Amino acid sequence: MTVLALTAGGVIGLTLGALGGGGSVLAVPALIYLLGFNPVTATTASLVIVTVTSVTGLAAHAREGNVRWRSGSLFAMAGIVPAMFTAVLAADVPQSVLTGAFGVVAIMVALRMLRQPAVADRDTPVRPGRAAAAGAGLGAITGLLGVGGGFLAVPALVGVLGLRMRVAVGTSLLVITVNSLAALAARTGTADALDWAVVAPFAGAAVLGAWDGKRLSARVSGGLLQRIFAVVLLAVAVFMLIDAAV
Protein backbone atom coordinates (compact mmCIF):
# COMPACT_ATOMS: atom_id res chain seq x y z
CA MET A 1 0.00 0.00 0.00
CA THR A 2 2.82 2.40 0.84
CA VAL A 3 4.63 1.70 -2.43
CA LEU A 4 1.42 2.26 -4.38
CA ALA A 5 0.76 5.49 -2.48
CA LEU A 6 4.29 6.79 -3.17
CA THR A 7 4.08 5.90 -6.87
CA ALA A 8 0.65 7.42 -7.38
CA GLY A 9 1.63 10.52 -5.40
CA GLY A 10 4.72 11.08 -7.53
CA VAL A 11 2.73 10.88 -10.77
CA ILE A 12 0.03 13.21 -9.49
CA GLY A 13 2.56 15.74 -8.19
CA LEU A 14 4.32 15.71 -11.55
CA THR A 15 0.99 16.35 -13.27
CA LEU A 16 0.08 19.25 -11.00
CA GLY A 17 3.49 20.86 -11.30
CA ALA A 18 3.66 20.56 -15.08
CA LEU A 19 0.03 21.08 -16.09
CA GLY A 20 -1.39 23.12 -13.21
CA GLY A 21 -4.22 20.64 -12.85
CA GLY A 22 -5.23 17.06 -13.27
CA GLY A 23 -3.85 16.10 -9.88
CA SER A 24 -7.19 15.55 -8.22
CA VAL A 25 -8.80 14.10 -11.32
CA LEU A 26 -6.10 11.43 -11.12
CA ALA A 27 -5.90 11.26 -7.31
CA VAL A 28 -9.55 10.31 -6.81
CA PRO A 29 -9.48 7.22 -9.08
CA ALA A 30 -6.04 6.25 -7.72
CA LEU A 31 -7.35 6.34 -4.15
CA ILE A 32 -10.47 4.38 -5.09
CA TYR A 33 -9.09 1.75 -7.47
CA LEU A 34 -5.52 1.32 -6.21
CA LEU A 35 -5.79 2.01 -2.50
CA GLY A 36 -9.33 0.88 -1.68
CA PHE A 37 -10.87 4.16 -0.50
CA ASN A 38 -14.60 4.68 -0.98
CA PRO A 39 -15.63 7.74 -3.08
CA VAL A 40 -16.46 9.95 -0.08
CA THR A 41 -13.16 9.41 1.76
CA ALA A 42 -11.27 9.44 -1.56
CA THR A 43 -12.57 12.90 -2.41
CA THR A 44 -11.65 14.21 1.05
CA ALA A 45 -8.18 12.63 0.91
CA SER A 46 -7.74 14.06 -2.58
CA LEU A 47 -8.42 17.56 -1.30
CA VAL A 48 -5.77 17.15 1.42
CA ILE A 49 -3.19 15.85 -1.05
CA VAL A 50 -3.93 18.41 -3.75
CA THR A 51 -3.90 21.34 -1.30
CA VAL A 52 -0.43 20.47 -0.01
CA THR A 53 0.90 19.80 -3.50
CA SER A 54 -0.60 22.90 -5.12
CA VAL A 55 1.00 25.17 -2.51
CA THR A 56 4.37 23.68 -3.43
CA GLY A 57 3.78 24.13 -7.14
CA LEU A 58 2.45 27.67 -6.63
CA ALA A 59 5.63 28.73 -4.87
CA ALA A 60 7.76 27.38 -7.71
CA HIS A 61 5.70 29.06 -10.46
CA ALA A 62 5.48 32.35 -8.55
CA ARG A 63 9.27 32.66 -8.55
CA GLU A 64 9.16 32.49 -12.36
CA GLY A 65 6.50 35.21 -12.60
CA ASN A 66 3.87 32.79 -13.94
CA VAL A 67 1.09 33.69 -11.47
CA ARG A 68 -1.46 36.47 -12.10
CA TRP A 69 -2.31 37.20 -8.47
CA ARG A 70 -5.13 39.71 -9.03
CA SER A 71 -7.05 37.73 -11.65
CA GLY A 72 -6.40 34.44 -9.89
CA SER A 73 -7.55 35.78 -6.51
CA LEU A 74 -10.80 37.14 -7.97
CA PHE A 75 -11.41 33.83 -9.74
CA ALA A 76 -10.67 31.86 -6.59
CA MET A 77 -12.58 34.01 -4.08
CA ALA A 78 -15.75 33.80 -6.17
CA GLY A 79 -15.67 30.03 -5.72
CA ILE A 80 -15.29 29.83 -1.93
CA VAL A 81 -18.99 29.96 -0.93
CA PRO A 82 -20.17 27.64 -3.75
CA ALA A 83 -17.39 25.18 -2.86
CA MET A 84 -18.39 25.05 0.80
CA PHE A 85 -22.10 24.75 -0.02
CA THR A 86 -21.75 21.87 -2.49
CA ALA A 87 -19.21 20.09 -0.26
CA VAL A 88 -21.94 19.75 2.38
CA LEU A 89 -24.38 18.42 -0.23
CA ALA A 90 -21.88 15.85 -1.51
CA ALA A 91 -22.29 13.66 1.59
CA ASP A 92 -25.87 12.83 0.52
CA VAL A 93 -25.10 12.06 -3.13
CA PRO A 94 -24.89 8.34 -4.11
CA GLN A 95 -21.35 7.13 -4.86
CA SER A 96 -22.18 6.04 -8.40
CA VAL A 97 -23.61 9.47 -9.17
CA LEU A 98 -20.43 11.19 -7.94
CA THR A 99 -18.27 8.91 -10.07
CA GLY A 100 -20.43 9.42 -13.15
CA ALA A 101 -20.64 13.19 -12.71
CA PHE A 102 -16.88 13.33 -12.29
CA GLY A 103 -16.38 11.49 -15.57
CA VAL A 104 -18.93 13.56 -17.53
CA VAL A 105 -17.43 16.90 -16.48
CA ALA A 106 -13.90 15.70 -17.19
CA ILE A 107 -14.70 14.37 -20.66
CA MET A 108 -16.45 17.61 -21.67
CA VAL A 109 -13.46 19.68 -20.62
CA ALA A 110 -11.00 17.35 -22.36
CA LEU A 111 -12.87 17.51 -25.67
CA ARG A 112 -13.10 21.29 -25.47
CA MET A 113 -9.37 21.61 -24.92
CA LEU A 114 -8.60 19.30 -27.85
CA ARG A 115 -10.79 21.44 -30.11
CA GLN A 116 -9.45 24.72 -28.74
CA PRO A 117 -6.85 26.39 -31.01
CA ALA A 118 -3.28 26.91 -29.89
CA VAL A 119 -3.03 29.43 -27.06
CA ALA A 120 -1.73 32.93 -27.68
CA ASP A 121 1.76 34.06 -26.73
CA ARG A 122 0.39 37.00 -24.76
CA ASP A 123 -2.24 37.33 -22.08
CA THR A 124 -5.41 39.23 -23.01
CA PRO A 125 -7.22 41.72 -20.72
CA VAL A 126 -9.27 40.01 -18.02
CA ARG A 127 -12.92 40.98 -17.47
CA PRO A 128 -13.72 40.90 -13.72
CA GLY A 129 -17.32 39.75 -14.29
CA ARG A 130 -16.26 36.78 -16.40
CA ALA A 131 -13.57 35.86 -13.89
CA ALA A 132 -16.06 35.90 -10.99
CA ALA A 133 -18.70 33.88 -12.87
CA ALA A 134 -16.21 31.23 -14.00
CA GLY A 135 -14.72 31.07 -10.50
CA ALA A 136 -18.11 30.53 -8.85
CA GLY A 137 -18.94 27.67 -11.20
CA LEU A 138 -15.57 26.06 -10.61
CA GLY A 139 -15.95 26.35 -6.84
CA ALA A 140 -19.30 24.55 -6.94
CA ILE A 141 -17.79 21.64 -8.88
CA THR A 142 -14.78 21.55 -6.55
CA GLY A 143 -16.94 21.13 -3.46
CA LEU A 144 -19.26 18.54 -4.98
CA LEU A 145 -16.71 16.29 -6.67
CA GLY A 146 -13.84 16.73 -4.20
CA VAL A 147 -11.37 18.00 -6.78
CA GLY A 148 -9.05 20.96 -6.59
CA GLY A 149 -10.47 22.25 -9.84
CA GLY A 150 -7.24 22.59 -11.79
CA PHE A 151 -8.44 20.38 -14.62
CA LEU A 152 -11.24 22.94 -15.10
CA ALA A 153 -9.35 26.05 -13.97
CA VAL A 154 -6.65 25.74 -16.64
CA PRO A 155 -9.05 25.67 -19.63
CA ALA A 156 -11.15 28.41 -18.01
CA LEU A 157 -8.12 30.64 -17.46
CA VAL A 158 -7.03 30.04 -21.06
CA GLY A 159 -10.39 30.11 -22.83
CA VAL A 160 -12.47 32.47 -20.66
CA LEU A 161 -9.84 34.83 -19.25
CA GLY A 162 -7.37 34.67 -22.14
CA LEU A 163 -4.22 33.78 -20.21
CA ARG A 164 -1.44 32.01 -22.08
CA MET A 165 -0.96 28.39 -21.12
CA ARG A 166 2.15 28.72 -18.98
CA VAL A 167 0.64 31.56 -16.93
CA ALA A 168 -2.68 29.70 -16.68
CA VAL A 169 -0.80 26.74 -15.19
CA GLY A 170 0.79 28.89 -12.48
CA THR A 171 -2.37 30.89 -11.74
CA SER A 172 -4.50 27.75 -11.56
CA LEU A 173 -2.43 26.55 -8.60
CA LEU A 174 -3.56 29.63 -6.65
CA VAL A 175 -7.18 28.83 -7.54
CA ILE A 176 -6.73 25.16 -6.59
CA THR A 177 -5.27 26.06 -3.20
CA VAL A 178 -8.11 28.42 -2.25
CA ASN A 179 -10.91 26.15 -3.52
CA SER A 180 -9.46 23.04 -1.90
CA LEU A 181 -9.11 24.76 1.49
CA ALA A 182 -12.73 25.97 1.28
CA ALA A 183 -14.02 22.51 0.41
CA LEU A 184 -11.91 20.92 3.17
CA ALA A 185 -13.34 23.35 5.72
CA ALA A 186 -16.80 21.99 4.93
CA ARG A 187 -15.61 18.37 5.09
CA THR A 188 -13.78 18.44 8.43
CA GLY A 189 -15.91 15.61 9.82
CA THR A 190 -14.96 13.19 7.06
CA ALA A 191 -11.22 13.72 7.62
CA ASP A 192 -11.41 11.59 10.78
CA ALA A 193 -12.02 8.48 8.65
CA LEU A 194 -8.88 8.92 6.52
CA ASP A 195 -6.07 6.38 6.64
CA TRP A 196 -3.17 8.76 7.29
CA ALA A 197 -0.63 5.95 6.91
CA VAL A 198 -1.57 6.00 3.21
CA VAL A 199 -2.46 9.68 2.76
CA ALA A 200 0.78 11.05 4.28
CA PRO A 201 3.25 9.23 1.98
CA PHE A 202 0.94 9.90 -0.97
CA ALA A 203 1.05 13.64 -0.23
CA GLY A 204 4.80 13.63 0.42
CA ALA A 205 5.57 11.98 -2.91
CA ALA A 206 3.19 14.40 -4.66
CA VAL A 207 5.05 17.40 -3.23
CA LEU A 208 8.38 16.07 -4.54
CA GLY A 209 6.78 15.33 -7.92
CA ALA A 210 5.45 18.88 -8.16
CA TRP A 211 9.00 20.29 -8.20
CA ASP A 212 9.95 18.02 -11.09
CA GLY A 213 6.73 18.94 -12.88
CA LYS A 214 7.57 22.63 -12.67
CA ARG A 215 10.96 22.01 -14.30
CA LEU A 216 9.30 19.93 -17.00
CA SER A 217 6.78 22.68 -17.82
CA ALA A 218 9.61 25.12 -18.51
CA ARG A 219 10.90 22.85 -21.30
CA VAL A 220 7.61 22.06 -23.06
CA SER A 221 5.58 24.42 -25.30
CA GLY A 222 2.20 25.68 -24.13
CA GLY A 223 0.39 24.03 -27.03
CA LEU A 224 1.91 20.64 -26.28
CA LEU A 225 1.10 21.01 -22.57
CA GLN A 226 -2.50 21.72 -23.51
CA ARG A 227 -2.78 18.61 -25.69
CA ILE A 228 -1.11 16.37 -23.10
CA PHE A 229 -3.47 17.67 -20.43
CA ALA A 230 -6.53 16.99 -22.60
CA VAL A 231 -5.50 13.45 -23.57
CA VAL A 232 -4.74 12.43 -19.96
CA LEU A 233 -8.02 13.90 -18.80
CA LEU A 234 -9.99 12.16 -21.56
CA ALA A 235 -8.51 8.76 -20.72
CA VAL A 236 -9.35 9.09 -17.02
CA ALA A 237 -12.86 10.35 -17.80
CA VAL A 238 -13.67 7.41 -20.08
CA PHE A 239 -12.42 4.95 -17.46
CA MET A 240 -14.58 6.47 -14.73
CA LEU A 241 -17.68 6.59 -16.92
CA ILE A 242 -17.27 2.89 -17.70
CA ASP A 243 -16.87 2.11 -14.02
CA ALA A 244 -19.95 4.13 -13.09
CA ALA A 245 -22.02 2.36 -15.76
CA VAL A 246 -20.90 -1.09 -14.62
63-90 pLDDT tens trace: 888 898 988 888 888 888 887 788 777 7
How far does Cα 181 stand from its chain's mean position?
Answer: 13
Considering only CA atoms, which of 50, 100, 107 is closest in space to residue 235?
Answer: 107
Angle subtended at Cα 153 by Cα 172 and Cα 94, rounded to the nearest 5 degrees: 125
| Helix intervals (H) in 146-195 | 150-159, 165-186
36-68 pLDDT tens trace: 888 778 878 888 888 888 888 888 888 888 898
Helix (H) or strand (E) holding 227: helix 222-245
Separation CA 212–CA 193 (nearest Å): 31
What pLDDT shows up at residue 38? Answer: 82
CA 121 to each of CA 62, 89, 95, 162, 170: distance values in angstroms, whole numbers, following the listed order? 19, 40, 42, 10, 15
Separation CA 95–CA 113 (nearest Å): 27
